[in-house]
Each structure stands twice: as C-alpha cells, then as structure tokens.
Amino acid sequence: MGELSGVEDDLKVYDDFSGKLDDLEVLNELANEEDDAAAADEVAQGIASLDEQFAELEIRVLLSGEYDEHDAVVTVHAGAGGTDSQDWAQMLQRMLMRWAEDRRFSVDVHDEQPGDEAGIRSATFTVHGTRAYGLLHGESGVHRIVRISPFDSQARRHTAFASVDVVPLLDEVDTDITIADDDLRVDVYRSSGPGGQGVNTTDSAVRLTHLPTGIVVSCQNERSQLQNKATALRLLKAQLADRERQKREEELAAVRGEQHDVAWGSQIRSYVLHPYQMVKDHRTDRESGNTSDVLDGKIGPFINSYLEWKAKGQAVSKDALEV
C-alpha cells in the first residue's frame, strides 16, 4: 500500500504538471493572437511556477535508492561545546521537525533526554512521509554552529557541535534481522517527559542495548512498557540494518578505490551567526545568508543540492568502475 501510494503521488504530480503546461500553451496562443499584455504576464508567471515544479520533479528522479521511499528515524546528539552544544542539538531538532511539518509529514518523538541546563542531550523521532528517508539522509553528519553564546555572561563567541543520524524505518517484511535474547539488555525506567499520570508514575520507558555493537535506543512516549519495547525494538533493527548497509557500501568503495572527502566526525555544514551570517554545506558548497529561515526549517535547497551532488558522484564512480 505504501508503494502504491508513492506511485499514485508521482502520477498525480505528473498529470498536474502536464495539465498546467497544456493550459499555458493555449493561453500563450491567445495572448499572441490578441496581443494581450495581461495574458502574456499570466503566461510568464505560470512558466516561473512550472520551473519550480519541474525542479521538484527532477529531485524525485534522484530518489531511487533501496530505502528512499521509507520513513526516516532521526537521532540528534549534542557534541562538543557543553551547554551550547545541548542548546544547538535542540535547535537542530526543531529545524528538522519544522522542515517535516512544512511538507505535511507527521512526526513521532520516541525519546528526548533534556540537557543539564538547557536544550537536549539527545532526541530520537520518526518522520513519516513519502520519501522521508531519501530526502533526509543527507542530513546525517556533524553540524557546527558559531555564535555569541547566550550562556556566556561575557558574551563571547562560542563554537558548538551536534550530530544527526538518519536511518530508514524498515517494515517487518524488509528485514530478516533477528536479535538473540542474550545480545540484548533491557532496562526500564520512569518516563520524564509529558504524557500524563499513567506515563509518569510507572516504569514504562524502555532502553535497549545491543551488546555486540553497543547501539542504544530508548522509547518513553508510548502508554505502556510493552508498546515502548516494541517501538524500541523496531528502531534498533533499523539501526542494525543501516549499519549492515553502510558496511556493504564501504566494502564496495574499497573495491572501487574511492576516497570519501566527508566522514563521520567532520562537519558537513556550518551555521555562522557571528560575526557574519551564513550557512554553508561543505560537501556541495551551497550557501545561504538567511540563517533564520534555514534554522526555521527552510533546508530544501540544501537537501536538493546534496542529492544532485551525490548523483554526480555516483555517476563518476560508475564511469570509473566501467573503465
């Protein structure tokens, strides 16, 4: 049903684009025949709108990966920078969730660990929507912010880091991953967030630790311990499946002899709020001087640039492999 919904959405977008193009062609003929300036202006505006819609269609073509159609599980972690990094992690969480809301995607927050003084130490949430993972996976990596710290009484400039991890949410039919009971440690604790008396007064929150890999996932926002455990187990399987996918890609890259410029632990994007304002993606060189819009979720241009950059890199690698 999910695949059918995606195909129907593609067809709807195509039919809409084709219909608007036909209407503009007719309007353009009338404008030329009657020398109608108002109609000519309407045609020009319609072409500009179609240009934007066509760019969106081009991005859809780039989303053809194995899991690009899936929902996305997003985890944000505070890094170096103390309280500033925890505040920055919460800002990143808000930015990504606002982007999802603008696209009318739904978001489920599974776990959120508050910071010591402000912000969050970590948060995990799922973005539900067509191609959510395909669009968001380029946000994985380290994000750096440079600003006047609101937590420094001397108003000095600080640099802080936070990481984003994005994995596809897999259906049961998409993975045959099994987890042995001996490989899993289950901890239960009392939920700390909102949720009402039934949530906050019982040990319903669940933390799962996969002992062989050290991966830890938590869920505390469901009503019962059983529901939290089921959700956490699904998130853990998604993490393990993504680890296997990354392992396969690394092995293939080693065979091809590829050198990756961007790796975990190096910033993929910088957000400078002082002494000037600029957001720059270090992979694509995409820049924006409107930092407030970017932090408010307007990251579409960065996502599109990453997908185009990735597609070009894959094409070059394919050509080199064939040679």
> Residue 234 has what pLDDT?
87
Could you report the per-residue pLDDT of 265-323, keeping only the tens digit for each?
Answer: 479 999 999 999 999 999 999 999 999 999 999 999 999 999 999 988 776 555 554 54
Distance of CA 99 to the CA centre of its chain: 9
Pairing label, strands 157-168, 184-189: unpaired
List CB contacts of 313: < 8 A, sequence separation 6 or more. none
Q: Which of 83, 220, 102, 97 minimizes the C-alpha distance to 162? A: 83
Q: In terms of Cα–Cα distance, which of 123, 141, 134 is closest to 220?
A: 123
Instruction: Name the average pLDDT for the chain.
Output: 85
Measured at the CA of 264, the angle between CA 137 and CA 255, to 5 degrees, comes to 85
pLDDT band at 183 (very low <50, low <70, confident <90, very high): very high
Per-residue pLDDT of 80-92, as tens digits, reads 999 999 999 999 9
The per-residue pLDDT for 130 is: 84
C-alpha 16: how far from chain center? 27
Going from N- to C-terminal start, the domains of the chain cover 2-62, 72-168+268-322, 181-254
175 compared with 179, residue with greater pLDDT: 179
CATH 3.40.50.620 fits 72-168+268-322, yes or no: no
* Beta sheet of 205-210, edge-to-edge order: 184-189, 205-210, 215-219
**Residue that wins the pLDDT comparison between 5 and 257:** 5
Checking if the pLDDT of 263 tops 60, the result is no
Number of Cβ atoms within 10 Å of the Cβ of 321: 12
pLDDT tens figures, 241-260: 888 877 877 765 554 444 43
Domain 181-254 CATH (choose: 3.90.1150.10, 3.40.50.920, 3.30.160.20, 2.60.120.380): 3.30.160.20
Task: Confirm whether 72-168+268-322 and 181-254 share one CATH topology.
Answer: no
pLDDT at site 258: 40
Structure tokens that stand for 33 in this block: 């025949």
Terminal-residue alpha carbon distance, the chain: 41
The order of strands in the sheet holding 72-78 is 106-114, 120-128, 72-78, 157-168, 141-148, 267-272, 278-281, 287-288
- Taking only the tens place, the pLDDT of each residue in 225-238 is 999 998 999 899 88
State the residue for tokens 């969480």. Answer: 93
| Lowest-confidence segment of 7-16, 34-43, 312-321 by average pLDDT | 312-321
Asked whether the predicted pLDDT for residue 196 surpasses 50, the reply is no
Instruction: Decide: 177 and 246 in contact? Cβ < 8 Å.
Output: no
d(CA 251, CA 197): 50
